[in-house]
Amino acid sequence: MDHLFEFLSHQMFLQTVYVVVLMVFLGIEVISHVPSILHTPLMSGANAIHGVIVIGAIIVLGKVDISNIPAILIGFTAVLLGTLNVVGGFVVTDRMLEMFKKKK
């Protein structure tokens, strides 16, 4: 019976790896075909989604047991990197929008 569980967990791991690899290739293919004019609105939408993800990471991090140091470190890193991603995305979007404004 243990061999069956080991086999199934190995199969699930391989399926997860296949799905992640396919998502990477699909994401690269989709992003490479986005016209330049749509880049700014799509980036703003992505920033909003990442903001929701950061809020979720903060909520999950708040529920972690204090004695679980690795989980706290991983959660803190996730919140930090997610926040940097959101702020950087908004800065880039703002700079792109400045290019379209008329100069005085």
Residues 23-40 have a mean pLDDT of 80
Res. 38: pLDDT tops 80: no
Token pair for 76: 């803190």
pLDDT of residue 80: 92
93 — pLDDT class (breaks 50, 70, 90): confident
- Length of the chain measured in residues: 104
Res. 51: pLDDT tops 90: no
In this structure, is the dihedral angle defined by the CA atoms of residues 56, 62, 64 and 68, taken in order, positive or negative?
positive
Res. 48: pLDDT tops 90: no
Residues 30-37 have a mean pLDDT of 76
Res. 74: pLDDT tops 70: yes
- Give the whole-angstrom CA distance, residue 21 versus residue 31: 16
Proportion of the chain above pLDDT 70, given as a percent: 88
Residues 69-98 have a mean pLDDT of 85
The pTM score is 0.55
